[in-house]
Structure 1
Amino acid sequence: MTDVSWERGVEWLSAAAKDPRVCKRDWDRGEGIALLAAGRYWDVLSVPDRLGLLALDLLWQPGLPVPGPTLVDTAAHRVGFFLPPDPDSRWVGAGLRYAGRGSWVAVPPPYRPSRFLEWLVPPAGTGALHAPVTLELALRQANGTLALLTPPGAGEAE
């Protein structure tokens, strides 16, 4: 990521903060993570990391647009996909969490990881986000692949 694109990414992300100047200052001081409001500029779909990492890999295909901003939380084992705001969104599935209006998302600066949060695809500041239909197809395909790779009975209580 070039200096210009990470600077645009900082501006774009910090716009969702209560006070964008304080957010940028905290990031510059290395204080790490900002709580940013979802629902205005973007929403976030959070999925289990195995599913999310496989789906992201499927989205990096020739002929498809570069995937939108994607965040990994290594402590919670989750991947967050940034989507256009949609108050009527109805993502349904085991382990799916949707953060829209009224939700807050912990976010590191786009130019470095912070503790357990790291950008897999940092925001470039252009406003580009994941296309919901494309992401849904990738998640369905990834879920099917994981079902084939998981041995019968795996994860069941003994």
Structure 2
Amino acid sequence: MRTVSRQAIEWLSAAATDPRECKRQWHSEGGTAVLGCGRFWDVLSVPEELAVPALDALLGIPQPPGPALVDTAARRVAFFLPPDPEGRWIGSGIRYAGKGAWVAVPAPHRAAGRLRWLVPPDGSGALFVPVAVELALQLALGRLAAQERTKRRCPTCGARVPGPPGRDGGRTV
């Protein structure tokens, strides 16, 4: 096993109540361990359609990224952030896990069931910077809103096309 991977295992398992048991769980059939938030990191869980473009933007800045984990069944991405006792993240579909919360994670070098690392921990302790994540999410939300507006316009003349019944009553806005 590479040194970085070993460092990542040690760093991640240190958040477990029993690091040895954590490592055993990673090698078991399920391949996941449940780790506590609030000591080494907190976790911001975001819907995939917003998180993936935000992650792309975050990977483009000259700063080591933190770990990011995807739950393929729930279609959510978890960003690992520094612990924040305030935990002031709000928004539609946004979930924040801080002190007292738990998160299931696979070993840093593998996927387990529906959980996969988009950015595995590297063992250095690098975490995403909350302000950068917030800005990337705002940028992604703006792009999604622009795409939604574009989808409801006629590609030839640019006129608004009636939406589905119920959203705006089928009227052209």
* TM-score normalized by the length of structure 2: 0.84
How far apart in 1 are the matches of 2:23 and 2:133? 30
Q: List 4+ stretches of structure 1 deviating above 3 A.
A: 151-154
Residue deviations 1:105-147 (CA, integer Å, cap 9, x gap): 0101100100000000000111110000111110100010011
2:44–2:78 CA contact under 8 A, matched in 1: yes
How far apart in 1 are the matches of 2:25 and 2:34? 11
Q: Which has the higher contact order (CA 8 A, sep 6+)?
A: 1
1:56–1:67 CA contact under 8 A, matched in 2: no
Q: Does 1:102 align with 2:76?
A: no
Residue 35 (structure 1) aligns with: 34
- Count residues in correspondence: 155
How far apart in 2 are the matches of 1:74 and 1:107? 13
Residue 12 (structure 1) aligns with: 11
SS at match of 2:3: helix
1:68–1:129 CA contact under 8 A, matched in 2: yes
1:28: Cα distance to partner? 2.5
SS at match of 2:134: helix
Unaligned runs of 5+ in 2: 153-162
* TM-score normalized by the length of structure 1: 0.92
1:66: Cα distance to partner? 2.7
- Alignment of structure 1 residues 34-113 onto 2, 5 Å: 34-61=33-60, 63-113=61-111
What amino acid is aligned across from residue 128 of structure 1 in structure 2? A
SS at match of 1:80: strand
RMSD: 1.8
Identical columns (%) = 55
How far apart in 2 are the matches of 1:48 and 1:104? 18
- Structure 1 window deviating more from structure 2 (100-109 vs 63-72): it is 63-72
Unaligned runs of 5+ in 1: none
1:89: Cα distance to partner? 2.3
